[in-house]
Structure formats: C-alpha cells, structure tokens
Structure 1
Amino acid sequence: MSGSGNLTPTRPGRQEDSAAMNSSYAYEYKVVTFRESLIGDALDSDKLEKVLNKHAEDGWGLKAITSADVKGRVGPGAVEGLLLTFERPRG
C-alpha cells in the first residue's frame, strides 16, 4: 500500500505561532451596556435599534448580545439589561 507511512501530528513552528498571535489582533472589540429603565419598563427596541445603527455607521459589526444583570446608577440592585459586543477590523 502506497502512502501508508507513519502519520504523526505536527505542532506549529515558531513562525506559525507568531502568525496566529498576530491574527488574533486583527479585530478590536467594544462592549456597550444597554439596560432597562429603572422604573421597570421593558427594553426599548427603538433605542436599541438606534444604538446598533450608530455603531454600524462607525464600522462596528454586532458580534453578540448577552442578557445580564446590570448594576443601576441608583441603589444597590441590578436591573436586567443587555451587553452588546461589537467587532471591527483594526486599522
């Protein structure tokens, strides 16, 4: 059988490691907190849309939306909110 030699996994060399490290910095990220009103209103979809569109105008693409308890400015409690994670190419 031809081609049935030993197959051993290879580890990336230093050049490949360096390239992988540089590529991990190809993007920059921004996290924006979007929270409910402190009076208990639901999240405002119009305001959320404006935030998304404003960041898109500045070259940011939405990477993730995460639901989270966000500390309010008044009092010790937290309110439900969203963490919006944006990504864009560096440069």
Structure 2
Amino acid sequence: MAYSYKVVEIRDKLMGGNKMSGETLEEVLNQHAQQGWRLKTITATDVRQPASARSRVDGLMITFERES
C-alpha cells in the first residue's frame, strides 16, 4: 500500500494577526478530510525570521496522509 503526504503550515501572522483558534484548526482539518486526507501529525513551530533574530512566528505544521 502506497501513501502520499501533504504538509500544511499555519502561522499566526498568516491568520491576519489573530491568534490561531481551535475553530480555525478544525476548519483546516475538515477541508482536507473532505479531499480524502487523514491527519498524521501536528507539530508546533517557533520560527525565527531571517531579517531579525528577535522576530518569531508561532504556528503549526500539519502533516496529512492518504492512500495513493
């Protein structure tokens, strides 16, 4: 059985400056589930921006899988 994987990054700053909510995460998960993707993992991220070592972006990396 072969699988395909998809990684989606969600960052607070991509959300229009709003903090990510459970409702937002639920929407992303449901959108991908409708396309046949299954949640594999969710990883919290703390990314330093290259332009400034002090600037950070908090977010999630969501990995989905489905049979190919």
Q: TM-score, normalised by structure 2?
A: 0.76
More relative contact order, 1 or 2 (CA 8 Å, 6+ apart): 2
Code of the aligned partner of 2:66: R
Q: Structure 2: which 5+ residue stretches go unaligned?
A: none
Aligned residue pair count: 63
Partners in 2 of 1:70 and 1:62 — Cα distance? 22
Normalised by the size of structure 1, how large is the TM-score? Answer: 0.59
Q: Larger Rg: 1 or 2?
A: 1
Paired residues for 1:4-15 under 5 Å: none
CA RMSD across the alignment? 2.1
Give 2:10's match in structure 1, choosing from 34, 39, 44: 34
For structure 1, list consecutive stretches of 5 or more residues without a partner in the other structure. Answer: 1-22
Instruction: Identify the residue that residue 16 of structure 1 maps to in structure 2.
Output: none
The answer as to whether partners of 1:62 and 1:86 remain within 8 angstroms in 2 is yes
The answer to whether the 8 A contact 1:27-1:89 is kept is: yes
SS of the equivalent of 2:29 reads helix
More strand by share: 2
